[in-house]
Copies of this chain bind each other. A is one copy, B any other.
Amino acid sequence: MEIPLLPFFQPKGVVIIGASTSPEKLGYGVVRNLIQSGYTGAIHLVAQKSGEVFGKQIHTSLQNIPDPVELAILIVPTQATPQTIEDCGKRGIKAAIIVSAGFREVGKEGAELEKKCVEVAQNYGVRLLGPNCIGAIDTHLPLDTTFLQPPMPEQGGIGFISHSGAFAAAIIDWARGQGFGFSRIVSLGNQADVNETDMLPMLASDDNTKVIVMYMESISNGRRFVQVAREVSKHKPIIALKVGRFEAGQKAAASHTGALAASDTAFDAAFAKAGVLRAETAEQMFDWARALENCPLPKGNRIGILTNAGGPGVIAADSLEHHGLVLAQLAGATLDALSAILPPAANTHNPVDMLASASPSHYAECLNILLQDEGVDGVMVILPPPPMFKAEEVARAVNEVIGKFEKPVVIALMGSTLVENASNEFQVARVPTYPFPERAASALAALSKRQKQLTKEHIENTKSQNKTSDASAVNPNDLMQDYNIPTAPIKLATNEAEAVAIANELGYPVVMKIASPDISHKSDVGGVMLNIQDDTALQSGYAQMMAKVSAAMPNAKIEGVQIQRQIAGGQEVIIGMVRDSQFGALMMFGSGGVEVEGLKDVAFCLGPLNQAEAEEMMRQTWVGKKLKGFRSIKPVDEEAVKDVLIKLSQLAAEHEEIEEVEINPLRVLVKGAVAVDVRIKFKGE
């Protein structure tokens, strides 16, 4: 899969079709950028009208162009695009960037034209980027196929995949002001052919790319994305900004699980599974990327703070803890060493406050001492304009120390004009700076998360036991039994006498539930009665339930009642699955009962689950912790819950025809767990 896409970034020869001599035309901008980028391969120009631009001849036919030529950039009228792709195919060109807009995004006609482009391209084995995109950039080769206003983005180690050309363009300009650069940038446009997942390996295999950032408006194929990203993220960090969170309305759901699993929950779960760090904002994505590009990863989450002022030190401490990091406890030797060089009024405990008088050598020496402490996994250096010294002198001194250690150091460089030279010093040394301690803390936290991802033990997915079971089985309990999920015996009674007989067979106390295909939330309509102790209670209960239910839902088809042995004691949890259209089975675990939607004490994970993932879901919820016992609440069988979670995820994997499953409650006993109520929704129901 990798080789066919390489010509987008490393083509042997490029032809620009639709080159123009008019500076206001895109076909001029593309020629200008490609030439000015310093691309060393052959550059050919083609247009309907011959001429000359930037000292290069414009040919009128693709056939007149000498080999090698691997990449075509098309800035031709929309209608002419399919023919031009065909010409490229015939000429042996295997990669084409379609810059022009006017395809799917403008309506039905455009969509058909786009489809035609793809058909032609597939006939000739041509890969397409776009249409409606700004192309690709490789700052290291170098290569710039875009028409964006010069200069090219700075060189750097961040690979950037963007669903939006305008966003990419704005970021390129913004990054210039922030002092960071890129390795490869690709704008995907309409993704008629090549999509975000295709491009991941192209950035992963590029030695200059240290970290990959993705601006995503959608996903082409959820499961394939997870698979590819999971592989890539083992080697290179991926950060994603997924927008459109609030766009997708929630579907009407048949279960609590469905109601709680908003479409964005699936993205959270998918990114977690794929090892993708999800950023909340654009600024955060690049804050993280700069740290991941330039810093070694910390061994743990214990951070030292070095400052020349108390206030910013407190802000830093707050934000470190907010982001799940901890203030390092400094060793005695560290405290002594700091005391030896700092004035008596300084604070040698973390946050280390050297006071306003701190000199460049104070900064350097103290940083050296902190980084030597084995209890310090990384350091935030806070540098507001020092009253007595130049900030750039501090920067130079600090940079020398940073290079000597394999620990991350980030700088909160506070100010503007007074720290401008310092900012340049840090930039050259590739030490990431942030205008405030809060953002520096967030970056350190991203490093720590990345480290955790890499060290997390991935216990292999529990092997599927390849159970065969009747896919059309409509009795949920049978399906549970196929997967060894214990259920409470339950039987259908079609009249009162049958109900009494079944209750006596199962043994009191029993639970009675209305049996109707039309009633989803049974307790809402008086269709559930608990703790029935004897025949008399059952008989009067039966009559009551029928009256209530037919009053509440006069048109519901009533098949009778389900009688179930009541399982007493223990704790209750909910376990559910909804099948996401993009990512497949999304598992849920949490506090159950009728209050599940109100309490929202639930966790999600993309199936199939392994042991570690099931444990993590339990750890994330209060009810999961409560299983271990809390105050007067007795501990129950956590292992049994984990077991059911994993088994239900297997069931989901092997029964694609099931849209939603929900066990609510799963009653967890001192030994074992019983699925008391199970609901299944099949596809198309």
Q: A173-B418, A622-B599, A631-B523 known; A385 and B149 CB under 8 Å?
A: yes
Q: Which residues of B contact A173 (CB under 8 A)?
A: 384-385, 414-419
In the assembly, what is the distance between CA of A356 and CA of B134, in Å?
12
- Residue A174 CB within 8 A of the other chain: yes
- Residue A436 CB within 8 A of the other chain: yes
Q: Is there contact, CB below 8 Å, between A170 and B415?
A: yes
Stretch of A159-167, A223-231, A498-506 at the chain-chain interface: A159-167
Known: A169-B387, A170-B415, A173-B385; 4 extra A-B contacts, CB below 8 A, are A164-B311, A283-B438, A524-B632, A594-B632
Question: What 0/1 readout, one digit per residue, does chain A (68-104) give for beta carbons within 8 Å of chain B?
Answer: 0000000000000000000000000000000001100
Q: Is there contact, CB below 8 Å, between B599 and A439?
A: no
- Residue A568 CB within 8 A of the other chain: no
Which residue of B243, B315, B317, B418 contacts A282 across the interface (Cβ within 8 Å)?
B315
In the assembly, what is the distance between CA of A318 and CA of B632, in Å?
43
- Residue A52 CB within 8 A of the other chain: no
- Residue A176 CB within 8 A of the other chain: yes
Q: Which residues of B contact A318 (CB under 8 A)?
A: 243-247
Q: Is there contact, CB below 8 Å, between B598 and A622?
A: yes
Q: A414-B170, A436-B282, A436-B283 known; A594 and B310 CB under 8 Å?
A: no
Give the distance to chain B from A161, nearest Cβ to Cβ, in Å.
Answer: 13
Q: Is there contact, CB below 8 Å, between A317 and B246?
A: yes
- Residue A533 CB within 8 A of the other chain: no
Interface CB pairs A-B, < 8 A, 21: A101-B345, A105-B345, A107-B345, A163-B311, A164-B310, A164-B311, A169-B415, A170-B384, A171-B414, A215-B311, A217-B311, A217-B314, A243-B314, A282-B438, A283-B436, A521-B631, A523-B632, A524-B631, A524-B632, A526-B632, A599-B599
Question: What 0/1 readout, one digit per residue, does chain A (278-310) give for beta carbons within 8 Å of chain B?
Answer: 001111000000000000000000000000111
Which residue of B149, B246, B631 contacts A321 across the interface (Cβ within 8 Å)?
B246
- Residue A625 CB within 8 A of the other chain: yes
Give the distance to chain B from A168, nearest Cβ to Cβ, in Å.
Answer: 8
Q: Is there contact, CB below 8 Å, between A174 and B415?
A: yes
In the assembly, what is the distance between CA of A626 and CA of B597, in Å?
11
- Residue A595 CB within 8 A of the other chain: yes
What residue in chain B is nearest A147 (Cβ atoms)?
A: B387
Q: Is there contact, CB below 8 Å, between A599 and B598?
A: no
In the assembly, what is the distance between CA of A384 and CA of B598, in Å?
41
- Residue A528 CB within 8 A of the other chain: yes
What residue in chain B is nearest A173 (Cβ atoms)?
A: B415
- Residue A66 CB within 8 A of the other chain: no
Q: A246-B317, A317-B247 known; A170 and B312 CB under 8 Å?
A: yes
Q: Which residues of B contact A637 (CB under 8 A)?
A: none
Q: Is there contact, CB below 8 Å, between B385 and A170?
A: yes
- Residue A177 CB within 8 A of the other chain: yes
Q: Which residues of B contact A486 (CB under 8 A)?
A: none
What residue in chain B is nearest A441 (Cβ atoms)?
A: B281
- Residue A425 CB within 8 A of the other chain: no
Binding site for B on A (CB under 8 A): 24, 101-102, 105-107, 147-149, 162-167, 169-171, 173-178, 215, 217, 241, 243-247, 280-283, 308-312, 314-315, 317-319, 321-322, 344-345, 356, 384-385, 387-388, 414-419, 435-436, 438-439, 521, 523-524, 526, 528, 591, 594-595, 598-601, 622, 625-626, 630-633
Which residue of B163, B215, B345, B521 contacts A106 across the interface (Cβ within 8 Å)?
B345
Q: Which residues of B contact A217 (CB under 8 A)?
A: 310-311, 314
Q: Is there contact, CB below 8 Å, between A435 and B166?
A: no
Q: Which residues of B contact A174 (CB under 8 A)?
A: 414-416, 435
Assembly of this chain: how many copies? 2
Q: Which residues of B contact A388 (CB under 8 A)?
A: 24
Q: Is there contact, CB below 8 Å, between A312 and B631?
A: no
Quick one: which of A170, A435, A528 has the most chain B CB within 10 A? Answer: A170
In the assembly, what is the distance between CA of A591 and CA of B438, in Å?
33
What residue in chain B is nearest A24 (Cβ atoms)?
A: B388
In the assembly, what is the distance between CA of A95 and CA of B108, in Å?
76
What residue in chain B is nearest A315 (Cβ atoms)?
A: B243
Q: Which residues of B contact A385 (CB under 8 A)?
A: 149, 169-170, 173
What residue in chain B is nearest A626 (Cβ atoms)?
A: B598
Q: Which residues of B contact A322 (CB under 8 A)?
A: 245-246
What residue in chain B is nearest A357 (Cβ atoms)?
A: B101
Q: Is there contact, CB below 8 Å, between B414 and A311?
A: no
Which residue of B107, B169, B314, B417 contacts A384 across the interface (Cβ within 8 Å)?
B169
What residue in chain B is nearest A241 (Cβ atoms)?
A: B315
Q: Which residues of B contact A317 (CB under 8 A)?
A: 246-247
Give the distance to chain B from A175, nearest Cβ to Cβ, in Å.
Answer: 8
In the assembly, what is the distance between CA of A167 and CA of B105, in Å?
49
Q: A174-B435, A416-B174 known; A309 and B167 CB under 8 Å?
A: yes
Q: Which residues of B contact A177 (CB under 8 A)?
A: 415-417
Q: Which residues of B contact A162 (CB under 8 A)?
A: 311
Q: Is there contact, CB below 8 Å, between A632 and B167?
A: no
Q: Is there contact, CB below 8 Å, between B282 and A417?
A: no
In the assembly, what is the distance between CA of A243 and CA of B310, in Å?
11
In the assembly, what is the distance between CA of A165 and CA of B311, in Å?
8
In the assembly, what is the distance between CA of A369 and CA of B102, in Å?
26
Q: Which residues of B contact A164 (CB under 8 A)?
A: 309-312
Q: Which residues of B contact A107 (CB under 8 A)?
A: 345
What residue in chain B is nearest A166 (Cβ atoms)?
A: B309
Give the distance to chain B from A167, nearest Cβ to Cβ, in Å.
Answer: 4
Quick one: which of A174, A312, A524, A630 has the most chain B CB within 10 A? Answer: A174
In the assembly, what is the distance between CA of A235 and CA of B435, in Å?
32
What residue in chain B is nearest A106 (Cβ atoms)?
A: B345
Q: Which residues of B contact A319 (CB under 8 A)?
A: 281
Q: Is there contact, CB below 8 Å, between A167 and B312?
A: yes
Q: Which residues of B contact A245 (CB under 8 A)?
A: 318, 321-322
In the assembly, what is the distance between CA of A523 and CA of B388, in Å?
62
In the assembly, what is the distance between CA of A174 and CA of B311, in Å?
16
Give the distance to chain B from A283, nearest Cβ to Cβ, in Å.
Answer: 6
What residue in chain B is nearest A385 (Cβ atoms)?
A: B173
What residue in chain B is nearest A218 (Cβ atoms)?
A: B314
What residue in chain B is nearest A246 (Cβ atoms)?
A: B321
Give the distance to chain B from A112, nearest Cβ to Cβ, in Å.
Answer: 16
Give the distance to chain B from A332, nearest Cβ to Cβ, in Å.
Answer: 21
In the assembly, what is the distance between CA of A244 and CA of B308, in Å?
17
